[in-house]
Structures are given as C-alpha cells and as structure tokens.
Structure 1
Amino acid sequence: MKTNDEIMDIFDQLKKEKHLSISEIARRVGMAKSAVSKYFNRTRNFPLNRIEDFARAMDVSPEYILGYHAGYIYSKEITNIPIVQTLSNNSDVVAEPNAQSYYPTASFNLPIGELFYFKMKDNSMTPTIPEDANVLLKFQEDIEDGQVAAITLNEDPTLLLKRVKKQDNFLLLLSENPDYDPIIVTKDTSMQIVGKAIRVSYDL
C-alpha cells in the first residue's frame, strides 16, 4: 500500500499536468475547498474511501493512483475511438466510415465521458503535440484557464487545437510553437469549444 505522501505526490503531478486548481478539484469531488487544500498541503491524511472520487476527478483509475497496474497489467479490451477533424453544420461529430477514421485504444484507464481523437496536421503545438500525433479529447463545452482545447472559429467546422488563456474581456488562443501568432477572441468572435485534450499518442 502506498503511503499518504506517495498518493499525494501522484495527485500533485496530475494536478499540475491537467492544470487543475484546488477549487476545481473540490468542485468535482463535492467537497469543501479547505478540506481538499489540507490533503494537498499534507496537513490532513488523504481518506482512502475517497480515492475513487478523486481519481475520477482527474480522469484516471483508482488502480493508477494506488499503483496496482505498475506498468505490467495491460487491458485486453480495445475501444475504437473516432478520429475527427471537422464538425457538421449541426455541430454533431462526423467521421468517415472506414478503418482509418478510428484509433484503437486500450480501454484501461480511459477518462469517463464521450471521447474522440484529433489528428494533428501542423506543427503549431510542438513540442507538446507533434505534427501527425493523435490527440485524445473529451467532449465538453467549458475549459479551464491554461488547458488545451479543440475549438472552431467563425463558423468554420475545422477543429483547431490551442491552449486557452482567459483574460478580463477576451481569450487568447495560444500555440506552443512561437512561430504562430496568438489568436485574440473577443465577444464579436464566434468560437465554440468542443473538447479538452487529455493525452497524446504518436508513432516513433
């Protein structure tokens, strides 16, 4: 069994990777922010009976937190997740019905919710997301500050991946590659958030 510090080290890393605040974690698990803060500050031991709630809040399995899979247990179940590049006019996801439109993915440790992949077509998000990488996204219409989102702009159904930075009166859509200029989104810009980037897969 992992110690309290080992468990919280994993949660700290996930909190950093997923750009989650204490307030957002508390909201997801239905607890007071002050209580959650004490777990992360190590002033109160983490309650193991809440491991499933916290793991789900961070889109991982309880086994991942506790280290039971230890890199040696692999899922035998495969899920075919659609690869999506554009939205249809009514904002439903569309994917051509052929084998190249789906990406086989091990079912173990998949986040809860409706998922899809996006095939990166340029180098705007390198080095975080290389060109030709498959990016796993979760359908959702809101995004936290600093997270990478799949979006559409100005009625164009083509999806874009950008890191979202929230300002007082506008949004900045940032590329990781400094050769790409930021996109400023104001109230006059038509923007739709389609999903949140979860993980990146690519072939060597």
Structure 2
Amino acid sequence: MRNSMEMGSYIESVLNRIGMKPIELANRIGVDRSTVTRYLKGTRKISMEDVPKIANAIGINPVELLMDENDKKPTNVIDISQRTVKIPVLGEIACGDPILAEENYEDYRDELAESLPAGELVYLKAKGDSMSPTIPSGSFVLVRAQSDVENGEIAAVLVNGNTEATLKRVKKQGDVIILMPDNSSHQPYIVDKNNPAKIIGKAIRFTQDL
C-alpha cells in the first residue's frame, strides 16, 4: 500500500497527465488549495474517507490510488458498483415556496454518493462572470444548505426579493456584510435594509460539462 508521500506523488502524476491543476482538484473535493498542496507533498495524510473523493475527481479507481503495481492484489475481489444519487439543480425560485422545494428545481445531476459531503445538497448553475476566474460561467456549483458561512467563504445568496440565487464571496466587517465578486469588473453588493440578502448555503465545489 502506498504511503502518504507515494500517494501524493501519484496524484500529482495523474494531474499532470490529465491537465488538471491542484486548485481544480481542491474545488472538486471541497477543500482549500493548501490542503491539496500538503496532500501532493505527502505532509498530510489522506483519510480513507477522502480517497474515493480524490479518485473520482481525477478519474481513477480508489484501489489504484491506494496500491502500487508491486502490491499483491487479491484475486477474489468483486467490484461493487458505486451508488449514485440525484442532486437537484436550483432554477427560478417561486415566491412563497420553501427555497429547496421541488417546485424550484429545473433538473437533476447524478453524483457518486461516496464523493458527497454530509448535509442537504443542491446544485446552482453559475451565470455570468462575476466569480471568474474562481468559478467560470456555466459551472454547476455544489451547495450545502446552511444559513451562514465563515468570513471569506463563497455562498449561495438570495437577492432581489428572495427570487434570485447568486454566488458571492461573503465579507464580514463588524455588523456589515458585503457580497464580493471575485471579478474586479463587477461591483460589490452591500447588504442593508434597502438591499436585503439571505445566505442559503455554502459553495463546496464546482464541475463543468464539456
């Protein structure tokens, strides 16, 4: 079985082969870039819970990540199909309906259950370039339902009378909350009584269809 350094080196070789940057891997598995950097250097152990998440994100079998070609593979192992679940895609929000009500969904996306974080999950499609380059327009962003996020985290936020969900970085300065775009060509949104907003979830990771 590979040790932490060997696993990190193997992940890095796969990333180079498929042309994926560490920041994209971080977004896909729901961690920050520094965590992935430590994984690649072998200075942070990858938990068994995270092995299938990383393997799925880079398109390999979890066993391939854990074991090298010199490990003796058992001959009586039967592959078990990985379970998938349907994650709803949030569309237009009907006034008066609960935010995560079925009436507000426009589609569903299949995901491996093993790769998903705990909690109530929904996808939100990024529209426009306000969060570029962090989140490209057209990306599907996985959001975990929660009413608040830490300072500097990206959240799904309701604006325009709770009828539109947008993705913004939440900045907290005392009692003031500012919704910041990552694209400097867009203006920040200062939350006050004239511009109300409601956090509905934390952005975990994003995916793109080719």
| TM-score bin, normalised by smaller chain | 0.5 to 0.7
TM-score norm. by structure 2 comes to: 0.62
Match in the other structure for 1:64: 50
* Structure 2 residue runs without a partner (length 5+): 9-25, 35-43, 64-80
Contact 2:155 2:201 survives alignment (8 Å): yes
Distance verdict in 2 for CA 1:68–1:114, change over 3 Å: closer
Distance 2:153 2:200 in 1: 13
Q: CA RMSD in A?
A: 3.6
Alignment correspondent of 2:66: none
**Paired AA for residue 17 in structure 1:** D
SS in 1 for 2:49: helix
Structure-2 change in CA distance of 1:97 and 1:73 (3 Å): farther
| Aligned-residue identity in percent | 32
- Paired with 1:197 and 1:174, the residues of 2 have a C-alpha distance of 14
Between the two proteins, the alignment pairs up a number of residues equal to 160
Query: Does 2:157 correspond to 1:168?
Result: no
* Residue 104, structure 1, aligned to residue 110, structure 2: yes
Residues 67 and 174 (structure 1), Cα distance of their counterparts in 2 relative to 1, 3 Å cut: closer
Give the one of 83, 93, 96 matched to 2:100: 93
The range that moved more, 156-165 or 80-89, is 80-89
Structure 2 partner of 1:17: 32
Cα distance in 2 for residues equivalent to 1:171 and 1:68: 34
1-structure distance, mates of 2:104, 2:190? 35
Q: Aligned partners of 1:95 and 1:67: how far apart in 2?
A: 27
Q: Which amino acid aligns with 1:115?
A: L
> Equivalents in 2 of 1:130, 1:68: separation in Å?
21
* Preserved contact between residue 169 and residue 181 of structure 2 (Cα < 8 Å): yes
**Residue type of the partner of 1:73?**
P
Asked if the contact 1:83–1:95 (Cα under 8 Å) also holds between the matched residues in 2, the reply is no
Structure possessing the higher radius of gyration over alpha carbons: 2
Moved more, 68-77 or 116-125: 68-77
